[in-house]
Amino acid sequence: MTQSTASTQSSQLRDLVVRRQLGAPVAAVWRAFTEDDEVMKWWGPEHFTAPVARMDVREGGKSVVCMRSPDGHDMYSVWQYTRVVPGQRLEYVFNLSDSRGNKVDPTSLGMPSAFPRDVAHVVTFEAQAHGASTELVVVERGYGPGPFYDLSKTGLEQCLDKLERALSAHG
């Protein structure tokens, strides 16, 4: 690959950024991202459930999360943490996986060859309104051209809708 081709391809990449103001303190939102039972309440788009969440949130750790479709199809993912600042920031690389958290090639699961791999995520948590609420920012890095940016945005927004409902049920 020539340098100009690499430059052109990298310039076509874009980041997905979703911000939410959540009516819960940072500690509650942090738990929602880091504790098994809490992740299971909101992970996956509408009409999906999360029957499995094994969270190992530490630098070098990996979490394995399953989302189940309405027709009962399970899809596992692994989140491999590169940076964890408790109560402030999570950085991890997202991939599809088997149930043990071993990264798998998306095409082996019937996904198109352009399905994103090694998607870097940065999640930040910032206290607002004297600690009563949290600004949550989720950044997914490096989407190329094609439908996956829009599909990921829709899925993430639906997950965060479910997160908001789960947090308000606590309050």
Name the pTM for this structure.
0.90
Q: Where are the domains of the chain?
A: 14-170
Q: Indicate the burial class of 26 (C-beta count within 10 angstroms; 0-12, 13-18, 19 or more).
A: buried
Tokens representing residue 159 in the block: 């997950």
Question: Looking at the predicted structure, is the pLDDT value of residue 2 above 70?
Answer: no
From the CB of residue 39, how many other CB atoms can be counted at a distance below 10 Å?
Answer: 24
pLDDT band at 171 (very low <50, low <70, confident <90, very high): low
Over residues 109-148, the pLDDT tens digits come to 999 998 999 999 999 999 998 989 999 999 999 998 889 9
Distance CA 142, CA 144 (A): 6
Per-residue pLDDT, 7: 38
| Of 146, 135, 108, 141, nearest in space to 122 by CA | 141
Overall CATH class of domain 14-170: alpha beta
Phi, psi angle pair for 71, to nearest 5°: -90, 10
CA atoms within 13 A of residue 5's CA, in its CB half-sphere: 2
State which amino acid sits at residue 167: L
